[in-house]
Amino acid sequence: MTVYAGVRNPADGVGLGHPITLDITNADDVASLRELSLDGLVNNAGIAVTSPLEYVPLDELRRQLEVNTVAQLAVIQACLPALRRARGRIVNLTSISGLVVLPLYGPYAASKYAFEALSDALRRELRGAVHVSIVEPGAIATPIWDRGSATADALFAAMPPDAQERYGELVTTMRAEAKKQPVEGLPPEVVANVIAKALTAKRPRSRYLIGRDAKVSARLARVLPGRAMDAVLAAAIRSRR
């Protein structure tokens, strides 16, 4: 296969097949995708904004939704003519946070819940023309957690004293958990292998859950009512303090 790897910084494209400069929030970069001949599209760009919703700057929420949801659809729209011609496939990376949301993860989870909805709608609209699969990883050891923690620290530091008082203990606990992900999360190769299956399987699935944590969380969300799930998550967070 010829693999086009989208990178914002050309220096990051060394060794990545056929790198192309692609900031998915840049209209010109996205428009250039229309020139490619494609059999498959993998949407895996993303940022993580975490914050108490009571205090999250709305511009940060808009940035989160723009990168993780709106810009992803812009890429899909640009690539769909080629994918239709090839009767190709789309693989969208969402997250277990698109099914189960933890406290402070509201902005990030909102973007993933929305991308789940767009993916389901696309799969039904494109049925018979282009297949759409959703990949829902749990904790994966990638730099998104380091970058997300840095953003979260900066946002929280800029919040007023009452935010520090109300959410300080929760922020400390959740920050400690996030810092474990680059060490304890599954290696990215696990996700890459699942993506390859979704692109090449004779009968690709609509959804692929990855990781024990994701599978357990999704199962609990299906069987527990909302208040019971709230209690389970609250108990899990207390146990980590």
Phi and psi torsions of 126, nearest 5°? -100, 10
Q: What is the pLDDT of residues 89-140, one digit of tens each?
A: 999 999 999 999 999 999 999 999 999 999 999 999 999 999 999 999 998 8
Contact yes or no for 40/88 (Cβ under 8 A): yes
Domain range for residue 144? Answer: 37-238
In a domain, 22, yes or no: no
Q: In what order do the strands lie in the sheet with 131-137?
A: 40-43, 89-93, 131-137, 207-210
- Model pLDDT, residue 145: 67
In a domain, 187, yes or no: yes
Using alpha carbons, list the distances in angstroms from residue 137 to 116, 206, 230. Answer: 13, 14, 21
In a domain, 16, yes or no: no
Q: What is the pLDDT of residues 33-79, one digit of tens each?
A: 999 999 999 999 999 999 999 999 999 999 999 999 999 999 999 99
In a domain, 19, yes or no: no
In a domain, 21, yes or no: no
Contacts of 63 by beta carbon, 8 Å cutoff, 6+ apart: 47, 49
In a domain, 27, yes or no: no
Mean of the per-residue pLDDT values of the chain: 93
In a domain, 92, yes or no: yes
**Catalytic-labelled residue, pool 108, 113, 167, 208:** 108
The answer to whether residue 108 is catalytic is yes
Q: Give the C-alpha separation, 177 to 171, whole Å.
A: 10
In a domain, 8, yes or no: no
Mean of pLDDT values over 207-236: 93
The domain spanning residue 206 has which CATH number?
3.40.50.720
The structure tokens listed for 151 are 């953003």
Domain count, the chain: 1
pTM for this predicted structure: 0.92
